[in-house]
Structure 1
Amino acid sequence: MAASELIKAVEIIRQKLKKKPIEYQVLLNDLPGNDFNTIFKSLPNFLQNLRREIGGDVGPCLFTGVPASFYGRLFPKKSVHFVHSSYSLHWLSKVPEGLEENKRNIYMTGNSPRSVVKAYYNQFQKDFSLFLKCRAQELVDGGRMILTLLGRRSQNPASKECSYIWELLGLALNDLVDQGIIEEEKLESFHIPKYMPSPIEIRIEVAKEASFVIDSIKVSQVDWNVSDNNEMNKAKSVDVSLKGSGYNVAKYMRAVAEPILISHFGEEVMDELFIRYREIIADRMAKETTQFFNVTVSLTKPR
């Protein structure tokens, strides 16, 4: 849990300065459908491990669940000192309007019309600006935010480095349409509500909203299957390793995408869809380098 790393970092400084123990209030936010009970059940072990790592004099750590969209107010004004968001802000508040011409694509691709790319970007601008505005009201003066989201280096919003994994899922869905398993109309009415911004786009929105100063912004990359190298070494053949990698990537993408896919296409086609998706991914990973790009930005609300 990211909260443990933050608390440990603060405690190291507190103990060096020989200050008295302080209280921590951790506010966990997710959509109302999230299973907060599972998180809360894990807290006793979490706190026990935290105290063992830090030492017995750590102050009270109080946890609260906040079920709501982060594209709106979550906390009282000037009540929060630090905000951390990880792999969330690339999800949009809704599917953009005006995607009708994005035929048989579930996301932006190289052949998507300009109007589709513009619609996605416009929705990102609205959502990200609203997020900044709401957090600015909730943070104390001098408060900080660390945001990590999937993004891209390219200035092209439809570049392969940010859209490719969804394009391949679209290919798997198209195969099911061609086999008569899914109706074409169903596919053409389905769109992924996400946008993976570049560092420049983030800088533009932060400057326009004008509540924060960017301390740093960095781009990092990670292989689709982070265990690729280990699997290559352990596997009896490259072919076996690539099949395993395709399985791993399809498995975590299923965890990410299955809820919205089920709500649109139904649960009965999921197994067949992800078997086909796994095959497509394994084939592409055998031919090219496949990576995600993370954008991490540190911001401060001026005093």
Structure 2
Amino acid sequence: MWLSQVPEFKNTNKGNIYMSRTSPASVISAYREQFHTDFLMFLQYRSKEMVSGGRMVLTFLGRRSDDPCSKECCYIWELLAMALNDMVSEGLIEEGKMDSFNIPQYTPCAEEISNEVDKEGSFTINRLDISNVNWDAHSDNNPTPSTNSVRGYNVANCMRAVAEPLLVTHFGESIIEEVFIRYKNIITDRMSKEKTEFINVTVSMTRKC
């Protein structure tokens, strides 16, 4: 699901760091096209490495919905954007810096994966499954305020491992601690009020003869 680069946009993805319902249509299209280009190339390279009849299993963060701006795939990044936008409004981050930062990721639906595999032509899909995974793997069915805080901390730290290098490169190190304190608080609040899950798309395929 990681892209080789941030897509090139015709319009600024203002106030967002990923696809969202407020993103221009050209931004959504650019993300989709970048994924299709990258995944097609990925399959081409893997096909050259594998023997006939060899099997490959891939798991992506993805979505069930056809909508690339669906909450099920974009929400976790929208909450990080909230933390960053709060810091912009307080003058802690330059607005121009915020508007030029975007996450190089695309969470495909099963149909998009299947279409690209068919287009590339080197593999046969044996099985394609979709599953739900709680944001916090240690999720409690009856969380208390104290466990909610721990869950929020766990998820924020997981996302920090992913996002911190990107944030440091773009914004510098000075904002990082404050960003993730705010992000953790936002995540904790949302996890206390609603069911929060990632969607995984898993595909098993065989190299054609």
TM bucket normalised to smaller: over 0.9
Mapping of residues 175-190 of structure 1, within 5 Å: 175-190=86-101
What is the aligned-residue RMSD (CA, Å)?
A: 1.1
Q: 1:99 to 1:239 in 2, by over 3 A?
A: farther
Structure 1 pair 99–246 and aligned structure 2 pair: CA distance change class (3 A): farther
Residue in 2 aligned with 1:288? 194
Amino acid at match of 2:49: E
Summarize deviations over 1:64-107 as a string: whole Å, max 9, x none.
xxxxxxxxxxxxxxxxxxxxxxxxxx100000001633111000
Matches within 5 A, 1:26-175: 90-98=1-9, 100-175=11-86
User: How far apart, CA to CA, are the structure 1 residues paired with 2:184 and 2:46?
Assistant: 39
Moved over 2 A (4+): none
Whether the 8 Å contact between 1:168 and 1:277 is mirrored in structure 2 is yes
Sequence identity (%): 55
Q: Does 1:192 align with 2:98?
A: no
Aligned to 1:251: 157
- One-letter amino acid matched to 1:197: P
> Residue 274 of structure 1 aligns with which residue?
180
Counterpart Cα distance in 1 of 2:164 and 2:107 = 19
Q: Is the 8 A contact 1:231 1:241 kept in 2?
A: no
AA matched with 2:152: G
Number of aligned residue pairs: give it.
Answer: 209
Larger radius of gyration: 1
Q: What stretches of structure 2 of length at least 5 have no aligned partner?
A: none
- Partners of 1:239 and 1:137 lie apart in 2 by 52
Between stretches 184-193 and 220-229, larger displacement belongs to 220-229
- When normalised by structure 2's length, the TM-score is 0.97
Structure 2 CA distance for aligned equivalents of residues 172 and 286 of structure 1 = 18
SS in 1 for 2:44: helix
Q: State the TM-score, normalized to the length of structure 1.
A: 0.68
* Higher RCO (C-alpha under 8 Å, 6+ residues apart): 2
